[in-house]
Chain A
């Protein structure tokens, strides 16, 4: 889905420094996407509310609730996110543009019913002491977030990157502003603000999508038909999100690292604060990655397959393959470079920033590990994306299995080994998955024509 890439290329082609900056800024915001922005949002709300009115506990409850909403909704929709992305890409390739909106709504309906049922069950059964308003917000927030993840899929296919940035600003502005404004109402107020903001985000994204695609019909379930979505992609989507949250869940429920916050929800202050702060550092890497993927890579990928399909010579095909491989390597190296830079900056400034934010120095070592880890996560995301582009689903599945499995295993080991090992489980799991993925990707790229022609 090269809508955004097309526009970014135009920006880059202006050959000006401001054009370049704008391209990367847009790319950073768009690629980091709702979930990084959401995490940043709740951190901001937390920091800004630290000294004000409400007791700290209420803010912690809010932050933990939202974190759970995000984590659970991502895991719950992970399978559909990836499977449906591919389904839409195929439909657009086949020229079935008019089926996009109906199927999106079908996917949303399925998502709402599924996540709604889950959230309702949780609200009714496992929050005996919570207020009814909290319960309602829990359900509403969970459903809205789940829908946001699904609609986000559509955005990279659209050309209106400015509109997307405006929508994000609007949604997170309302979320943060609303939460701050409704602070006096306690946890429920903060939550109401956040959910309201997410709702604005969802509504605005939907409006943009509805206006961008012609449609025949409003709701369809073609994507549910047998064979419409790849089972392997569903599994990859699920495992990737499980992988991302596995270490956090372990820390939340390991007795010595966690505390109960509200109802069944537990949190691990020593683990959570550094990792969520570290996620701030992935924005530059994500920006570089999106620009590379959506511009050069997408272009050479297109040219490679054009050369294959429309009768290019073998020499042309190989040249395109070489260019493609070059952009992939360059893209991955750039991610590494930018993330290394980010790590260095964090190493230098973290102590000052933490003090300024009023956060204890105790978090510092873990923050350093986490910054490296999330950098690896960007790299992994890059590798996975190239694998999806090349339709190497088996390798992608191996990578996510390694990631999820190692994260569970290594994090459990780090918990057993003691505090100085915290964070290493997550980092090593990412390293293992990224290295395996990159190695297999390299092999696949070297045999690209052979596999394209002979094994498909």
Chain B
């Protein structure tokens, strides 16, 4: 227990003080940047799952970037969460003591073959054994330590040889630091894996770092690893990477040649792809939210026979009473439900509100969701509202219980540039509110119905409209269309209710996971 005290010491007092601790649990939930410190669709889903299985105990390993990026707990922990530990991967850690060394020859040979696998998993299936061996060497007492990577002569030789063989960007110093920055969390994760409490099955809610932790744990402890992917982690990382202002790009302007940052971006992408591949190799089952994402997982290297899709479900009964509370007239309110973060592209919603306001001056635009996750982006959004003279039309309501809001809403709007199976849409549906969505994730399926053999879903009709991303004019037009035409609105509302009641109920989802948990807990380990 000494090590957990160490970790606790780095947290602000108020946060670490009440976290439950246990010696063991049934399910080890591996959560990256989500429940219980962040609001959002995935967090709500995790909360839903935990409460759906009161008979099981849960241990949570929360992986975050830096402690200061998170406030207090955003969810009250259900009593069956018996253990929570938090780890921050991007916090500055003191590096291990500096001294030169040679490094283990065999370990570096393993590293080389493992990296060959990471680069082209299909072409080097044979090297997968090396990867397993490599993961083994990473544990305490293995032949590889962080010092070997950072200070050893073999480490140096490996990085220079890789640079010569693969790096298409001239800047060696950028390559060098990209590699170091990239690997730093790996070492931390190996330590976390060494110390995590024993559980009967691991359940990771993404690939990425959490998925890698699951891979390590499964390898060391021999307990099953379940993977539920909401978005596609690797893809979401790509979005972040494309939106990140690239340091090397700035420097390129001065030197007039060389680094455009593109190669390093690609390196990061490949890094997350490799983490994803490792997790796919280790996890069973691999659960997607909808068919398109399941296909994507297979493309990304998941074994098809281990994949399946289980759509999100919602407790429809909780929202049903809202339908009656709305009254006859369609409220001229457009509501965006989601955290105020760049991926939701709140700005496009605000811009669309300019168009709406020009044509329907009494219309209101509400943004319902917490703003604390990316305060700078929140400020940009607010200043955009000012810049477009929309102070009278657009309101930031902060976090709200949807049952208190949805009956006043005419259209649920989702302007995201990327989504999986957004809960906000299901909530809107359950309350009988049509949606206008960008064409991302499963939104098209949700609005127009999924392709099925029996065509039953399509037959239910359109529950709103789909528009392109970053197109405020089209978004506004679609919303106005619904708000101005009561008959269309009623049809969409009816389709929404029918679709959610038939295909997206909580009962369906919980039943599917009950099956998965039972199988995993029954496993003897391998």
Contact = CB atoms under 8 A, between A and B. Distances in A.
Contacts of A312: 170-173
Contacts of B151: 454-455
B160 A311 contact: no
Interface stretch (B69-77, B115-123, B251-259, B502-510): B251-259
What does DSSP make chain B's interface, helix, strand, loop or mixed?
A: helix
Interface in B103-145: none
Given A317-B172, A453-B176, A311 B153 contact: no
Interface string A432-456: 0000000000000001011101110
26 contacts: A308-B172, A308-B173, A310-B173, A310-B251, A311-B170, A311-B171, A311-B173, A311-B174, A311-B251, A311-B258, A313-B172, A314-B160, A314-B172, A316-B170, A317-B172, A447-B153, A449-B156, A450-B156, A451-B100, A453-B156, A453-B173, A453-B176, A454-B100, A454-B151, A454-B152, A454-B155
Interface residues of A, number: 16
Contact of A311 (B152, B155, B156, B172): B172
Given A453-B176, A455-B98, A313 B171 contact: yes
B170 A313 contact: yes
A84 to B, nearest CB: 27
Interface string A258-289: 00000000000000000000000000000000
Interface of A: 308-314, 316-317, 447, 449-451, 453-455
B156 A454 contact: yes
Contacts of B173: 308-312, 453
Contacts of A314: 160, 163-164, 172
A296 B248 CA distance: 30
Nearest to A311: B171
Contacts of B255: 310-311
A12 B145 CA distance: 52
B150 interface: yes
Contacts of A308: 172-173
Interface centre among A451, A453, A454 (most CB of B within 10 A): A454
B202 to A, nearest CB: 35
Contacts of B153: 447, 450
Interface residues of B, number: 22
Interface centre among A316, A451, A453 (most CB of B within 10 A): A453
Contacts of A309: 173
Interface string B257-271: 011000000000000
A313 B156 CA distance: 15
Nearest to B160: A314
Given A314-B164, A449-B156, A453-B176, 16 more contacts: A308-B173, A311-B172, A311-B173, A311-B255, A311-B258, A311-B259, A312-B171, A313-B170, A313-B172, A316-B170, A447-B153, A449-B160, A450-B153, A453-B173, A454-B100, A455-B100
Interface string B147-166: 00011110110001001100
A447 B152 CA distance: 12
Nearest to B152: A454
A455 B171 CA distance: 19
Nearest to B164: A314
B14 to A, nearest CB: 34
A451 B251 CA distance: 25
Contacts of B150: 454
B41 to A, nearest CB: 40
Interface string B376-413: 00000000000000000000000000000000000000
A309 B155 CA distance: 20
B246 to A, nearest CB: 12
A310 B171 CA distance: 8
Nearest to B258: A311
Contacts of A454: 100, 150-152, 155-156
Nearest to B171: A311
A320 to B, nearest CB: 12
A-B pairs with the 3 shortest C-beta distances? A311-B171, A313-B170, A314-B172
A445 to B, nearest CB: 15
A316 to B, nearest CB: 8
Nearest to A317: B172
Contacts of B164: 314
Interface centre among A314, A317, A450, A453 (most CB of B within 10 A): A314
B261 to A, nearest CB: 11
A311 B248 contact: yes
Contacts of A455: 98, 100, 151
B111 to A, nearest CB: 16
Nearest to B156: A450
Contacts of A453: 156, 173, 176
Contacts of B152: 454
Contacts of A313: 170-172, 258
Contacts of B100: 451, 454-455
Interface string B19-43: 0000000000000000000000000
A394 to B, nearest CB: 12
Contacts of B258: 311, 313
A239 to B, nearest CB: 25
Contacts of B176: 453
A450 B157 CA distance: 9
Contacts of A317: 172
A454 B171 CA distance: 16
B148 to A, nearest CB: 11
Interface centre among B153, B156, B163, B258 (most CB of A within 10 A): B156
Contacts of B259: 311
Contacts of B172: 308, 311-314, 317
Nearest to B157: A450
A142 B218 CA distance: 74
A451 B163 CA distance: 17
A308 to B, nearest CB: 6
Contacts of A311: 170-174, 248, 251, 255, 258-259
Contacts of B171: 311-313
A310 B172 CA distance: 9
B524 to A, nearest CB: 45
A119 B164 CA distance: 62
A314 B164 CA distance: 8
Nearest to B177: A453
Nearest to A453: B176
B489 to A, nearest CB: 57
A312 B257 CA distance: 10
A172 to B, nearest CB: 47
Contacts of B98: 455
A450 B155 CA distance: 10
A317 B173 CA distance: 10
A101 B372 CA distance: 48
